Chain A
């Protein structure tokens, strides 16, 4: 197995990664190499959305990406999302709407919604926005408060 150096920008800072095995997943790089455990490990098969992060601003599932595929990319995680005005608005909306219970799906939802709102702004419809959140599972809230948070965050965009 080849292992080599990867250059990533994570939450705005360069992260030099050495000896990265070819089969290492971005999820494990973030959590166990960089200690950024706010990105949650759920199913590891792309089925739950808990590990959603932003790659160059767009939502991706960290469990399905190999770190080698990301050489040169910029990655944003829940730990860095507050630096993004849209991300901060989304976090505030989640708090106001009470859109979290156990909190395990929360970072994934915040990142997915942040990425989608960054892409669409207020031009996309609410229905499209909610449909695009369909890959993130929540077992506690029944999504009702998350939908409220999504509307709140979208409506508050400039």
Chain B
């Protein structure tokens, strides 16, 4: 039942697939954003005059959109334009549109911004000068504080045989989808229509409506093929500006970011500093303390979600009798914190895995044995009291360990082998709806998401329908509608597309099969099959063509339809443990154990990945070739996080490496062969036992690479990425 050739192959191999960057409209103007010249400052004036003096140019700033100061949440740091205070460099302060791209760029440069600079805060250490004590230098810099405790932690540490305390640091990484953000907007007769490349058409609709102060329904979002998202295309970044420029000019307006703008303005996962302390008695973890400083960039106080979410991953998938976790979301003058494939989980896994390896070494135990002994198994509870259900990670680690042991016997001198685990929670809590249309010759799935690349829409939803109906997958067509026509769905993120939207599709099909059985008069749900190039409905021993079962109204529309939905419920955490702020439950448990073999240059500290193996609990795998491809791609992306990717911010809040030549992605020659294995027997809550697989493959990679580097060279690196310089410093070569 696997698809030999992806159904989007033809469009993508012929150049006919239309992406956001390809959009245009008759009479269109080209838009450009005017970006703040400082990271923090008070605006004295924004003079659009010189731009407007250029023929054909339309220009707008805060004064042209009175009352629009940050949407229904009243956030002055959200679009469209800051009226008074700039809070990060590259924040849009004005926008222009012109007949050509070149004129638009010239007009953007012509806008004169006068700013009184204010001191910028970029560095977590400067904001917490006495770290690891959490005495904060400037309380105004705290966006959120989360704090939780379980058991007698102080006693666990007081009575411990061994205590290991370390500080880790992680860097800022950017999603870098190859397609930059781009959209075309047109405002006509009270309808604000925008065509855009997005992971969340409905999210963009809600965001944009909120920012523009109009009802959701007056915004229509029409998606394109998405040239990669990885979390970066989840929010409205350009759409409000394009719509405002269209309203001001009376013409369609296109805005596309340059790569430099993409780096400077797009959302990134920002730096963190993490303190890890573990108490061990008799070879068992007796207590843990975790403290997190997370840079959340420009952000309103009290509006942070990232910290409570991220800190949940810092205890790892390990049984922990007593713990205390405390996290601070720290406001800096950077762009807002944004998700990047499994937000903060790869960073957290790097910290947890490296630290527990250090702990195991301190008590002279084999790190993998020590981890395996503490790993969650079905029937355990998470530190926050959630039952662990259908979690195959310990089996994955057993398999990984066997591979690691085998590789060690053949690794040449200078090479090292490392093992690490990571866990994730398929976000099936975010809901969605779908409609199915049974036509005489095919079954159509009508829904609102566009394919982002994983195959979760064009392959995954079709696989669900094929399995439920019995039809061959070639008879199933995934149809897309814009936000005014499609059933609602939360978006393509959180590894949820098959797990949540797929369940809505499944629900619709189950209803359809019931309707068909009722019409035949059979007690059991119908199944579908193909014969003579037409679809037959089979139930109670009766076989009917679709036109024999439809009503006059359905005949006119050409299909029998049914609707389905899935609004999942997340798990629950033990709220009595929470002392401050918000923590979040996991929904569907998933995880992976990875093995890396590296070669470390003992003179320069540079690291080369030699081979790699990944063992995943992905529940029931619906489409093995795509599942394998997903793991291969996630591992390669994780290799970037592990070794080369680091957005470098100056003290003045300037992004110093806003381009592909300085922000280094893994290239073809740097990614070795990757073995992919799936451990079976732990069904997920998704259709037919599926679990999400979009994000898990990236999670263990930095940790596995760090473990291998340590095995190869002895270098215990406590900061991501593991650049040659950091490895060399750990080896005292520098």
Contacts and interface: CB of A to CB of B under 8 A. Distances in A.
Interface stretch (B305-313, B372-380, B665-673): B665-673
A134 B667 contact: yes
Interface stretch (A12-20, A54-62, A97-105, A116-124): A97-105
B659 A134 contact: no
A106 B659 CA distance: 21
A36 interface: yes
A103 B18 CA distance: 10
Given A98-B6, A101-B453, A144-B673, A41 B21 contact: yes
A101 B633 contact: yes
B15 A140 contact: no
Interface string A68-108: 00000000011100100000000100111010111111110
A156 to B, nearest CB: 16
Given A38-B14, A143-B671, A102 B177 contact: yes
A66 interface: no
A144 B666 CA distance: 12
B709 to A, nearest CB: 20
Interface in B412-464: 451-455
A137 interface: yes
Given A142-B637, A142-B674, A136 B668 contact: yes
Contacts of B634: 142
Contacts of B226: 102
Contacts of A110: 13
Q: Indicate the member of B5, B629, B659 with the most A CB atoms within 10 Å.
A: B629
B176 interface: yes
Contacts of A142: 632-637, 666, 671, 674
A106 B455 CA distance: 15
A40 interface: yes
Contact of B661 (A40, A47, A50): A47
B452 A102 contact: yes
Contacts of B178: 40, 42, 48, 50, 102, 104-105, 137-139
B16 interface: yes
Contacts of B179: 40, 42, 102, 104
Q: Indicate the member of A77, A91, A100 with the most B CB atoms within 10 Å.
A: A100
A31 B226 CA distance: 18
How many residues of A sit at the interface, in one of the four size bands?
A: 35 or more
B259 interface: yes
Contacts of B302: none
B230 A139 contact: yes
Given A47-B659, A47-B661, A142-B632, A98 B626 contact: yes
A115 B453 CA distance: 25
A140 B9 CA distance: 15
Contacts of B327: none
Interface string A130-158: 11011111111111111100000000000
Contacts of A67: none
B12 A103 contact: yes
A157 B362 CA distance: 58
Nearest to B228: A102
Majority-rule SS of A interface residues = loop
Interface residues of B, number: 57
A38 B16 contact: yes
A44 B629 CA distance: 28
Contacts of A2: none
B259 A134 contact: no
B21 A43 contact: no
A97 B458 CA distance: 17
A98 B625 contact: yes
Contacts of A105: 178
A37 interface: yes
Interface in A1-48: 31-32, 36-45, 47-48
Contact of A44 (B228, B259, B626, B669): B259
Contacts of A91: 13-14
Given A100-B9, A100-B13, A102-B226, A143 B18 contact: no
A110 B9 CA distance: 12
B22 interface: yes
A104 B228 contact: yes
Given A95-B9, A102-B177, A43 B660 contact: yes
Contacts of B5: 95-96, 98
B128 to A, nearest CB: 34
Contacts of A47: 259, 659-661
A144 B15 contact: no
A43 B626 CA distance: 28
Interface string B652-684: 000000011100011111010110000000000
Nearest to B11: A103
B669 A37 contact: no
Nearest to A92: B13
B659 A43 contact: yes
Contacts of B6: 95, 98, 100
A19 to B, nearest CB: 13
A98 to B, nearest CB: 5
Nearest to B453: A102
Nearest to B640: A139
A144 B386 CA distance: 38
B668 A101 contact: no
B665 A139 contact: yes
Contacts of A102: 177-179, 225-229, 451-453
Contacts of A32: 24
B402 to A, nearest CB: 22
Interface string B155-190: 000000000000000000000111110000000000
A78 B228 contact: no
B25 interface: no
A143 B609 CA distance: 14
A144 B674 contact: yes
Given A79-B15, A107-B15, A139 B176 contact: yes
B116 interface: no
Nearest to B13: A91
Contacts of A43: 259, 659-660
Given A98-B625, A98-B626, A103 B660 contact: no
Contacts of B669: 130-131, 134
B624 to A, nearest CB: 11
B604 interface: no
| Shortest 9 CB-CB contacts between residues of A and residues of B | A38-B15, A142-B636, A102-B453, A104-B227, A103-B12, A47-B660, A101-B453, A78-B15, A144-B632
5 contacts: A41-B256, A91-B14, A96-B4, A102-B452, A104-B179
Interface of A: 31-32, 36-45, 47-48, 50, 77-79, 82, 91, 94-96, 98, 100-107, 110, 130-131, 133-147
Interface of B: 4-6, 8-19, 21-22, 24, 176-180, 225-230, 256, 258-259, 451-455, 625-626, 629, 632-637, 659-661, 665-669, 671, 673-674
